[in-house]
Structure 1
């Protein structure tokens, strides 16, 4: 009884035809090729016929396609002389002809018949056939055409005589194809040799002989063929020229009378096209240009709509060739001419820009860049042109700006930059040239631009002549109506009135456009109102400058000016946002009302504001000036205290700058550490003047980041902001003294643990920075920079997570975790959620400073998996693997990733529905768990990124591939099964390979899989 579970063969599609059917019924091939989408295709048929051709048993000198060019010419093989190649002669019938079996001959005729169906389009054959098969096809063509056995490449003493079964027309065609392929192969020489590296050494050597054959005889042959095309006819094979063998037709003679005669123009067009490509490849640009031009002229001479049998030139490729040679038949666009002008020292740049004002094709930013480049080149002497060229380019750009952006400030820069030149005629000429190609919107833009120009020029006494000239030009353009011209004349008349003698306001700024006339009394009252308003405007302008300035000298000058205006309020109260620390504020408010009081308060407030914005240099500069101001001899008492407080404020800003720019190391860290010790020394000595607690905390954290732990342990631990840096420093010192498994100092552990008690105040304070709370823990962690301090804090939070979570499947692992206790008293009193959120934020912060710390990446992945973020966890694991292999360039080591991490990655992939990824990851285990493998393979992938057959090239375990083949067979997935079988058949997966080859194969596939994961999860 037949086993119902036994896999059954999948039937082929109804339209699929096997290769041997054409051998049994040769007439069937014509019907097959005439199908719309034949299966197999014409190229696949050629490959099948070549690969199935049997070796010759009659003579060892016969080279067959199936033997992969086993009997090519010797090592010294070269192409024959061109003159001998052109003068082919008919051989006497008595000489020996083909020595092929009937199956060999039948297959060769079929393959040549299919190639003729493709019209011997070498582009198609080159893209679809391997190099070895291309040479096999060429050899078979020469063998049939000459009527005797031919080897490729031709030997130096090759006899070009034709046997009785050959033909002169066919031999000439075959010889032309031979020399064409010889030149074409030079263009893909490197890739062709690389493609045959996996074949036998003898095959590689023979292909290399063909590629190293001298090309000069081929060039001479093709050129002479082009020259003699008018005198000597050229024929190409027709589909019916090849007569297939069958039982009723025993003769092997081909029907050469059916060959088609082509025109000399078609022949020369194709040959010159390939010669031009070869000349370009060998950098013979003059010859390439001549050949490309000859190709184009012969192609243009062909009748339109005619059928071509030999020429296969694509119009787009020909245009690319002509452009590469600089003789394109297409008219250049303005943008192309523009770039060409840039390469030729701005030749014809003015006519190009003038045409672009009509077409508006060149981007305006490119035109502006050219204007600046010309200006720079003329000023440095690199361009030997007068400034007239720059003036013309600028004027044309102004007109283009009118159309692009409108008339807003379009003329200001032009008239100010070129006021010393006759700048009006170029811009008038540019507008007149563009006017005839403008629409309604563009004419309106030009009109408004002219009005602005006329009014602007009228206000300048030295430019009134230009104004009149521009007004006459505007009238001649014919874009203004009579009413508009009258209104423009009236505005010009009003603008000639005398201006008010005030530095900030003129009469032109207060023109009354009403038709009523002002009396002298009204005008005087109007003047007094304006004067008072101008005074207030000046004061407001000075105050605005004081608020925005960033230098101490500017503050000094502006304060002096404001003091002269008799302000009604203290100058330090101008900006309510200026905030001064309390000790300094008390000292400043105790000063008598003076310039020093305002100057000190403003500088302190602005320095604090600049530091908050990240402008540390200007902030320190302001405080340094104020410190110098307080050190003058005439000041004493509170000034000395103020100087010391300012010194600590400067230190605080520099510490903040150092923490913000930690990896750039902008400051002298050793000197900064010494100043931090001096500042903390004031606390230890109990001086009367103490730094602010915020400054003391910053100094302690800075010393902790500099790993200067002994300087911290003797400080007063009762100050709450210093608890964290002091407890961390004590922990590091005890870690250095530890012997054996002794536990570290409990102060840091208990202090950190107290932040996560289930009390509303504490739990709110333990949230990450994004929550907006003022947690002392986060205030400390946000300023941690050293890798060791990050590691210690992460280890404590990770240990708390493991104890509170109490789930071995979601334990976190990290350095220093063995230092902390394994149990907690009353764990329900602590918030696991707060611990997770704080640890997640801290890992992200630490990785932002040290992104290549593999242990933190793996720990972040473990935490994301414990939370339930499978994709984020997978991203962290993949990042760790990619980092550990130096971006997939080094082998994956066990110290980078172990079975524990791999199993977590397998769990993540399975949770995401990527079961094939989980299957491939099982190979990374020390011992493959086939139970997990078979379970994942039996699952249906629910993720579009997990295509099953996309990862076959990443599998190196043959047992796994065998199971996949069996699985596809059960499902009836024939194409996938064949793909898996082809992977099993690769040489590097052979079971008989030594261990070194197996390790290399696994390493290559591991790297390939890691790159695929990186593209999915990291990009």
Structure 2
């Protein structure tokens, strides 16, 4: 440490060490210290230590006053006050040196931040200001520019603090433990934030702008003059555009974090406008242009960015129910950035969704999109198939697509469009097209010569009037087609439509033709479950039988397509139709109600955890379905889905006590029982072996028939088991299955170096008899698939991420394994903002992964992460390193173990790698310079290096892999 602040003289210090009061004796000393490449302590640490001295002195004096000990020094109180003022002035000079950067200020302890800002307001306002946070500005016109700067800085700080205080690592970074949470919440209350927003909004309209307080503005007290003196003439001016750009960015960021994107949008737009006409003159402006463009892009607010990202804007429009899609396509007709195939696919998607009734949009939206796509096809010289939608009734709308962007087209594009329209006019398919072009305002697509040519062409090939008026006895040909051809067309229409009225009409028309064919056989995919078929066959032969079959078949088709709403709608329409007709068969009505229940359950399981219906009411319906004692029983698929849904919803008691008539209930009951025992015992006692005994046989290499509650072979049991496993969504259920399979793999593999580690494996048996007759590879494959499914619903589950790392490690997939280990560390350590714990299991496997991938230096760095550094392993790795495949230089700064660095210096010297030897020497030199730091500082430094290294490793293996 170069500067000593606390109690100088209490211990021997180095001759080079600077005492705090020396900054007062030599005015240039502070600036010299701050301008060092790596000042120790840093500017932020120096401010913290200055205020710590003030706080400690004040606390000691308060304790003395409480016990009423008279002061032995008559001027001690005055001396203490002068010392505090001097330290505060020094802190102001340091903050000015940092350009009053809020990111730097907010790394201070929270209490220090408040003290620093309070003192700044005190000094700049002639010792006349209210306490934070109740800062009030009476009259802007009476306040001087340097005072305005302090008020602006305070309100900007308050906005940033209100955003940052919700982050998980904010208390750790700012050390708010010494400040009451009530005080923090009061300071960042909505009322105070609203005041700051109003103040900063008004600030952009001020005639007098603030001035930046510089290092020279604050004058240190001297022995001859201990009065406060400031030189405000040394302030720097701020340009209007620079000031407005910063304030707009701060306000926009606040509303963006509050998810009020519409309010954030204009602030970001104004910030971008100001940035285009200003530059960073006096370092007041601290706006990252790339981040600004990201914000604007997220808010969809910048035409400049929209032009460069039309495809992205189209995707956002699709997500937002096609909002503004025609404007995007208009721009694309000019800039041609979106591939034509995307535009044609968009057209087909909207057409299909409208025909199926999935959603509703403006009546003319589809027509506009088709017309705009015609324009783009003409400009790309691609075949045009869409003109069949144009008629004389909507020709003016068709012409709109050409006219809306006409002024923005290039001359080449205009010639292409002009030639295309001329061709349409001359063909005579749209007689109104020429009239519309002539009557259109501000649309000069056709010149007078072109119009004259068209009229001459039409006159030359016109039909004589006398021929058009002659009455001829034309032979009327029969319009009747062959019945079989007409039947095929009706059947195709029946396959395509999902409108129940059209289905009725088509069934009637097919019945009239009546060629002895059944509509049940029209589509091979229309196969209903046997219980439904048998009930339908019992109905009287006729319309209602066919109608019920078609509606049930189409509902099942939509169920498989995951069009849940249409599937339920078809069933409800059929149910209502049968209710008001004479075919109100209770048996069929019951089956239809269960089919509706099946669709709802399947939707909830597929979209978990999103719930579009009352999940508890649905669970009660599932219990009622399973408990039914009617003659009509629900079919197997419905029963299984009900049991799985109750399992996911935690209705374990019901499943445990339910009669196990089928293998499905034996499986779900066992999982429910294990979940209940695990939850009650909190992982302290082994659970029931029932589930273990059910699961174990499916991995046997010789799978024989098994007799248990009826005969069923192992393959059937395996299919049921796997089907249920992949439908599990509840974290308890997944934890049970995952821990069981992980334990089973460890037993069968019987190789401790490849053991899978996950919670609750100790709850299962430790041995398996005749283990050689089971296949561990099948266990590993199933476990991997289940954990991948589980991570889709619980992506931040650290235990399962590490388990995926272990699975891939055991399988020899080292790159994927390393990626999962790093993901788990990122989440657990808040992207390495929290100190990384010593977890030897993870780091030893990461070392193994790195060495197998040829990343030897990274592996050597990871050896330092172990509880006790494994020098033998690190030296062996560094001796085997292949520099051709290893980014060795980039990771030198991540070594903090001097023994490893000394080995590197020796190795590089031996190999003649003098540049690398120099890098290693520089690193070890910087470590030795800081060897006098206490253990706490050294520990913090090593934590910073750990975080830096793991971030770099994540960029190399996590983010690259995800792309």
Q: TM-score range by the shorter chain?
A: 0.5 to 0.7
For the structure 1 residues 456 and 563, does the alpha-carbon distance in structure 2 shift closer, same or farther, using more than 3 Å as the test? Answer: farther
1:600 aligns to what? 548
Does residue 696 (structure 1) correspond to residue 645 (structure 2)? The answer is no
Deviates more, 1:641-650 or 1:947-956: 947-956
What's the secondary structure of 1:689's corresponding residue? coil
Question: 2:738, 2:786 within 8 Å by CA — same for their partners in 1?
Answer: yes
Structure 1 residues 489-520: Cα deviation after superposition (integer angstroms, max 9, x where no partner): 558789x97999xxxxxxxxxxxxxxxxxx97
Per the alignment, residue 951 of structure 1 pairs with 891
How far off is 1:610 after superposition?
0.2
Question: 2:372, 2:735 → 1: CA distance?
Answer: 64
Q: Kindly provide the CA deviation profile for residues 291-321 of structure 1, in whole angstroms up to 9, marking residues without a partner as x.
A: xxxxxxxxxxxxxxxxxxxxxxxxxxxxx99
Contact 2:747 2:766 in 1 (8 A): yes
- Equivalent residue, structure 2, for 1:661: 607
After superposition, residues 251-266 of structure 1 pair within 5 angstroms as none
Give the Å deviation of 1:586. Answer: 0.8
Displacement, 1:453? 2.5
Partner of 2:938: 998
Choose which of 628, 645, 659 in structure 1 pairs with 2:576: 628
**Superposed counterparts of 1:651-690, under 5 Å:** 651-682=597-628, 685=629, 687-690=630-633
Question: Residue in 2 aligned with 1:798?
Answer: 742
How far apart are the structure 2 equivalents of 1:1004 and 1:748? 46
The reply on whether 1:873 has 2:817 as its aligned counterpart is yes
Q: Secondary structure at the match of 1:823?
A: coil
Aligned-partner Cα distance in 1 for 2:697–2:841 = 32
- Decide which structure has the larger Cα Rg and report it: 1
Which residues in structure 2 correspond to 1:793-942 (within 5 Å)?
793-893=737-837, 898-941=839-882
Following TM superposition, by how much is the alpha carbon of 1:783 offset from its aligned partner in structure 2, in angstroms? 0.8
1:169 corresponds to: none
Output one character per residue of 1:388-445: Cα deviation in whole Å (capped at 9) or x when no partner.
Answer: xxxxxx9999878643446836878887687579979x979989x999x659xx9687
Alignment of 1:397-436 (within 5 A): 402-405=378-381, 408=384
1:532 aligns with 2:473: no
CA contact (8 A) 2:846 2:859 kept: yes
Identify the residue that residue 507 of structure 2 maps to in structure 1. 559
Instruction: Tell me, yes or no, if the aligned pair for 1:810 and 1:865 is still in contact at 8 Å.
Output: yes
Q: 1: CA distance between counterparts of 2:583 and 2:560?
A: 30
1:988–1:1001 contact (8 Å) kept in structure 2: no
Structure 1 residues 988 and 417, CA gap change in structure 2 (3 angstroms): farther
Match of 2:53 in 1: none
Q: Determine if contact 1:922/1:933 at 8 Å carries over to the other structure.
A: yes
Aligned counterparts of 1:395 and 1:583: Cα–Cα separation in 2 = 50
Aligned partners of 1:630 and 1:642 also within 8 Å: no
- Please tell me whether the aligned partners of residues 457 and 466 of structure 1 are also in contact (alpha carbons under 8 angstroms): no
The alignment status of 1:753 with 2:696, answered yes or no, reads: yes
Offset from partner CA, 1:522-555 (integer Å, 9 cap, x none): x54xx32x4427x877765554443233344443
Residues 709 and 464 of structure 1, relative CA distance in 2, 3 Å threshold: closer
The equivalent of 1:1017 in structure 2 is 957
Correspondence for 2:522 among 566, 571, 574: 574
**Scaled by the length of structure 1, what TM-score is found?**
0.54
Give 1:891 shift: 2.2
The residue that corresponds to 1:455 in the other structure is 427
Deviation at 1:721, TM superposition (A): 3.0
Q: Name the CA distance, whole Å, in 2 between partners of 1:131 and 1:857.
A: 41
| Deviations 1:593-637 (CA, angstroms, capped at 9, x unpaired) | 22211111011000100000001111111112222333348445x
Give me the whole-angstrom Cα distance separating, in 2, the residues matched to 1:218 and 1:628: 79
Secondary structure of 2:653's aligned partner = coil
Structure 1: runs of 5+ lacking an equivalent: 1-59, 71-129, 133-189, 191-203, 220-276, 286-319, 327-337, 344-356, 370-393, 501-518, 764-770
After superposition, give the CA deviation of every residue in 1:12-65 in whole Å (9 maximum; x if it has no partner): xxxxxxxxxxxxxxxxxxxxxxxxxxxxxxxxxxxxxxxxxxxxxxxx999999
SS of the equivalent of 1:674 reads: helix
Q: 1:401–1:410: 8 Å Cα contact kept in structure 2?
A: no
State which of 613, 619, 626 in structure 1 corresponds to 2:561.
613
Residue in structure 2 matching 1:476, options 437, 440, 449: 449
| 1:746 positional shift | 1.7
Contact 1:870/1:911 (CA < 8 Å) preserved in 2?
yes
Assess, with a 3 A threshold, how the Cα gap between structure 1 residues 213 and 597 changes in structure 2: closer, same or farther: farther
Task: Tell whether 2:590 aligns with 1:650.
Answer: no
1:641 to 580, 587, 594: 587
Q: Distance in 2 between matches of 1:880 and 1:364?
A: 39
In structure 1, the residue matched to 2:947 is: 1007
Aligned counterparts, 1:489-504, within 5 A = 490=461
Q: List per-residue Cα deviations over 1:859-900 (Å, max 9, x = no partner).
A: 221221111111111111111111111222322235xxx212
Give the 3 Å change call, closer, same or farther, for CA 452–797 of structure 1 in structure 2: same
Q: 1:708 to 1:366 in 2, by over 3 A?
A: closer
Structural RMSD (CA): 5.4
Match of 2:497 in 1: 549
Distance 2:395 2:870 in 1: 84
In the superposition, relative to structure 1, how do residues 485 and 283 fare at CA in structure 2: closer, same or farther (>3 Å)? same
1:89-129: CA deviation from partner (whole Å, max 9, x where unpaired) = xxxxxxxxxxxxxxxxxxxxxxxxxxxxxxxxxxxxxxxxx
Compared CA separation, residues 532 and 474, structure 1 to 2 (3 A): farther
- Contact kept, 8 Å, 1:588 with 1:601, in 2: the verdict is yes
In the alignment, the residues of structure 2 paired with residue 322 and residue 810 of structure 1 have an alpha-carbon distance, to the nearest angstrom, of 57
SS in 2 for 1:663: coil
Going from structure 1 to structure 2, the CA distance change for 1:464 and 1:1016 (only over 3 Å counts) comes to closer
Structure 1 equivalent of residue 127 of structure 2: none
Q: 8 Å contact 1:743–1:819 — kept in the other structure? A: yes
Q: How does 1:770-785 map to 2 (within 5 A)?
A: 775-785=719-729
Q: 1:934 to 1:728 in 2, by over 3 A?
A: same
Q: Distance in 2 between matches of 1:492 and 1:365?
A: 45
Matches of 2:233 and 2:486, distance apart in 1: 85
Contact kept? 2:905, 2:921, Cα under 8 Å: yes
CA distance in 1, matches of 2:797, 2:470: 72
Instruction: Give per-residue Cα distances to partners, 1:623-679, cap 9 Å, x unaligned.
Output: 12222333348445xx10111111111111111111001121222121111111111
How far 1:744 sits from its partner (Å)? 2.4
- The alpha carbon displacement at 1:778 in A equals 1.6
Cα gap change, 1:207/1:988 in structure 2, threshold over 3 Å: closer, same or farther?
farther
